[in-house]
Copies of this chain bind each other. A is one copy, B any other.
């Protein structure tokens, strides 16, 4: 299943519940932010070195999966509402980043970049 099909499913899900009325661009950005907040909250006190262990607990793993799914779902609905082709946008941005961070210069350097990475 590709991204366009995910978006079709989300559209059907929202339409069946008459929820498109809430899905203005700003509302979806806020909802996306809310889910990213939950992802942060989920992991905030887990020790950095301990995350793979933490992920072996089924309830933790499921919570992480759910939050990642929620973030994706709002991101795809946001893009859909703005008429943005997500795969195209992704490829274009990866190309830009390749040009911005040529391999020889970017190698092992963290502080110079701030996106995609």
How far is it, in angstroms, between the C-alpha of A2 and the C-alpha of B4 when the chains are bound? 10
* Prevailing SS type, chain A contact patch: helix
How many copies of the shown chain assemble into the complex?
A: 4
Chain A 59-98 interface mask (CB, 8 Å, partner B; 1/0): 0010011101111111101110011101111111110111
Supply 12 A–B pairs (Cβ within 8 Å), ascending by A: A1-B2, A3-B3, A13-B116, A25-B51, A27-B45, A31-B40, A31-B117, A34-B114, A41-B114, A66-B96, A70-B116, A77-B117
Residues of A whose CB lies within 8 Å of any CB of B are: 1-3, 6, 9-10, 13-14, 16-19, 21-27, 29-41, 43-45, 48, 51, 55, 61, 64-66, 68-75, 77-79, 82-84, 86-94, 96-98, 101, 103, 106-111, 114-117
